[in-house]
Chain A
Amino acid sequence: MATLEIKDLHVSVATEDGPKEILKGVDLTVKAGETHAIMGPNGSGKSTLSYAVAGHPKYEVTSGAITLDGEDVLEMSVDERARAGLFLAMQYPVEVPGVSMSNFLRSAATAVRGEAPKLRTWVKEVKQQLAELEIDPAFAERSVNEGFSGGEKKRHEILQLALLQPKIAILDETDSGLDVDALRVVSEGVNRYKASGETGVLLITHYTRILRHIKPDFVHVFAGGRVVESGGPELADQLEAEGYVKYAGKQEAAGIA
C-alpha cells in the first residue's frame, strides 16, 4: 500500500529580495485508500506544497523530507517522481505547441508503464476515458492544452490521471474555473480513480464545493505555510460556515464564491 510522507517540509522561492520561505514545516501523510483535503486561504502555500512534491525547479526544499513508500522523493528528478507513482493535476496546465495530445499521452504512458502500450488496447483505453470525461475525440490531434478552455484543460488533467494510474494524486485547485457540469464530470473521474482503494488523493482547494462530489476522509486547514488544524469531513462544514477568518486573520469565505 502506497504512502506519501511529508515531514517538516520547508520550501523557499527565489524573489528579487532573496529567497522567501513559503512552507514552514509541513507534516502530512497520505496513504492509499485515503482522500485528504487541504483547504486554506489564498497565499497560504497550498500550491507551493503541490509543486514542491512534484519537483518544480522554482521551489527549493531547504529542509525536511518527502518519501514515497520509504523512497526519498527529493532525490528524484521530476520525471522520476512521476514514474515512481506521483501525479500532480495542475491548476494551470501548460500549453505545448506542436505536440499533439495523442503523442503526449502515449509518450507519458510509455514512460510511466515502462513499455509502449499495445496500440490496439491503447486506442480503446483512450477512447473509453475520453467518453467518460465527455471529451471530444478531436482533441487528440490538437496541441497539448493549446487553445483549450479552462474546463477542457482540467478534463485533460483528469484524463492523464486515469491513464497513468499513479499511486498518489495531488489535485491542485482542480475545481477552480469549472462550471457545474464540468465539476461533476471531473469529480466523477477522480472518484473512478479512487474506486480501486489502492490510490491516495490529496485534494487542494479553497472552496468546499468540490468536497460535495469527492468525499474526503481527512480535512486539513493550511495557513501560513503549514497545516494548522486537522480533522474529519466535519472540519470542512465548519469552514463552510465560518470561513478562514480564524486562520487568516481576515474574512475569507470557504463557501460558494
Chain B
Amino acid sequence: MSTALPAALANTENKGHSHGGSSDGRKTTVPEASRAEWFTSYDVDAFEVPTGREEMWRFTPMKRLANLHTGATSTGAATVSADAPAEVAVETVGRDDERLGKAGVPADRIAAQAYSSFAEATVVTVAKEARASAPVTLTVEGPGAGKVAYGHLAVRAEQFAEATVVIDHRGSGTYADNVEFTLADGAKLTVVSIHDWADDAVHVSSHHASIGRDAVLKHTTVTLGGDLVRVSPTARFADKGAEVDMSGVYFADAGQHFELRTFVDHNQANCTSNVVYKGALQGEGAHTVWIGDVLIRAAAEGTQTYELNRNLLLTDGCRADSVPNLEIETGEIVSAGHASATGRFDDEQLFYLQARGIPEDQARRLVVRGFFHELIHKIAVPEVRERLEAAIEAELEAVGT
C-alpha cells in the first residue's frame, strides 16, 4: 500500500483489504508480529537500540532523529504554558506522581527514553461531572535549536467530565514525550494536538489513551511544521461501550518527514473506533507515513471499526506511504473496514472547475480545501479550524502553481 512516485504516474489508487502489504520494494524488514505481541516497557534499557530495519522504524530516517533512539541526554527543557477555564486543574508535578503512566506503557525505545528521562510532568484534571466552559490550551514550546528535551503530559477526565484540550507544539529543538489521556466512565474528551514546529524541530511523541465505559475520545492530530515529526497515538478501552474517533490532517513540504502511527486496540466488547487521516504533500523529499493498526482481540465482540487514509500529492518528488493493518481475532463483530488511497491532483476535477471559468490556481485551492473539508469542519474549536484553514492557504500560496 505504498506509493512511490514515478513522474509518469498520473494517478494511483490503492484500495483494499490486504493486511500490511507493502509494495515499495524495501526488503530488509523484520517480519511483522501481531500487534498483540508487541513488547512494551517503561524502561528504556529493556529495548534494543533500533537500526531502522525494524518494522516500526523502517520508514523513519533514523539519522534525523537527533539520537533520540540511541539515548540522547536531555540538554534543555520544553516550556508548557496552560490557558484553562476554572473547572480544569493544571498542575506541574514530579516524576513520582502516582497519576502518571496509567494510560499506557511505552511501545518503542524513544517513548521509553522519554518516560525514563522527563524531569517534571504536566497533569490536567477535569473533575467528576465537570464540564469545561472553554477549551484548555497547552502551549508546548520546544527547548530551542540544538537542544534536546523530554516531557510528559497526562490529561485526566474523571467520571462524566467533558472537556476539549488543545496541545499546541511550537518552537525549535528536539523533543520526545508521552501524552496520556485517561477517560473515566462516561467522560467525553476532545483533543487536538497541533504540531506546528519550526523547520529544524524533531518531535517524537507517543499518545496513550485509556477509555472507560461509554466514554468518548475524539482525538485529532494536525501536523504542519518540523523537520521530522512522528506521532504514535494508541487507544485502548478500559471497559465496554466506549468510542474513539481518531483523525489527522497533515501537510508536508519539501524535505519534511511526518509519520503518523495510529493503533486502536479493541480489547473490550461493543466498542467503536473510526480513524480518518488525510494528508497533502508538496516539494522535493516531502515524505509522509501513515500506519493504521487495528487489533480486534478475541474478547472484543460487537466491535465496529473503520479506518481511512488519503493522500494528495501536489508535486513531483514527494512520497506518501500508507499501510492499514487490520487484525481480527474474533468473527463476532459488527463491522471492520479500511481503505487507503494516494493520488495526484485529479486533472478531471481541475478541468471541470476551469471549464466553468475558475482560474487554475483557484481551482487547485478549491480541490485541496475540499479534500480536507470533512476533517476540518469536524474540529470543535473554531480558532483551530481557522488557523488550520489559514495554514493550508499559506502552504498552497507557497507552492506557486
Tell me the A residues contacting B by CB distance below 8 Å.
54-57, 77-79, 81-83, 87-88, 90, 93-99, 103-104, 107-108, 111-112, 143-144, 160, 164
CA–CA, A56 to B355, complex, Å? Answer: 9
Known: A57-B347, A96-B349, A98-B374. A82 touches B367 (CB 8 A): no
A82 near B355 (CB under 8 angstroms)?
yes
Are B367's CB and A99's CB within 8 A?
A: yes
Q: Across chains A and B, which 7 residue pairs bring their CB atoms closest together, nearest first?
A: A98-B370, A98-B373, A82-B357, A111-B357, A108-B356, A94-B352, A78-B354
B353: which A residues are within 8 A, CB to CB?
96, 104, 107-108
Q: Is the Cβ of B351 less than 8 Å from the Cβ of A112?
A: no
Cβ-closest chain B residue relative to A89: B355
Q: Write out the residue numbers on chain A whose beta carbons fall within 8 Å of the beta carbon of B371.
A: 97-98
In the complex, are the beta carbons of A79 and B359 less than 8 A apart? yes
Q: Which residues of B contact A (CB under 8 A)?
A: 346-349, 351-360, 362-363, 366-367, 369-374
Interface pair A112/B357, CB less than 8 Å apart: yes
**How far apart are the CA atoms of A187 and B36 in the complex, in Å?**
62
A54→B356 contact, CB < 8 A:
no
Looking at the assembled complex, report how far the CB atom of A93 sits from the nearest CB atom of chain B, in whole angstroms. 7
In the complex, how many angstroms separate the beta carbon of B129 from the nearest chain A beta carbon? 37
Q: Can you list 13 A-B contacts with CB-CB less than 8 angstroms, sorted by A residue number?
A: A54-B355, A56-B351, A78-B354, A78-B360, A79-B355, A82-B355, A82-B356, A93-B352, A98-B372, A98-B374, A108-B353, A143-B370, A144-B352
Number of A-B residue pairs at CB separation under 8 A: 82
A-B contact sample (15 more), CB < 8 A, given A79-B360, A112-B356, A164-B356:
A54-B351, A56-B351, A77-B360, A79-B359, A81-B355, A90-B355, A93-B352, A96-B353, A98-B369, A98-B370, A98-B372, A99-B367, A104-B356, A104-B366, A107-B356
B352 contacts A111, C-beta separation under 8 Å: no
Bound: A108/B363 CA distance, A: 10
Query: Using Cβ atoms and an 8 Å threshold, which residues of chain A touch B372?
Result: 98
Q: Shortest CB–CB separation between residue B196 and chain A, in angstroms?
A: 23
The answer to whether residues A96 and B356 also contact, given A79-B363, A143-B370 and a CB cut-off of 8 A, is: no
Most B CB contacts (10 A, CB to CB) among A54, A99, A103 go to A99
Contacts of A160 in B (CB 8 A): 356
- By beta carbon, the residue of chain A nearest B370 is A98
The listed residue (B357, B362, B367, B370) touching A164 by CB distance below 8 A is B357
What residues of chain B lie closer than 8 Å to A94, measured between beta carbons? 346, 348-349, 351-352
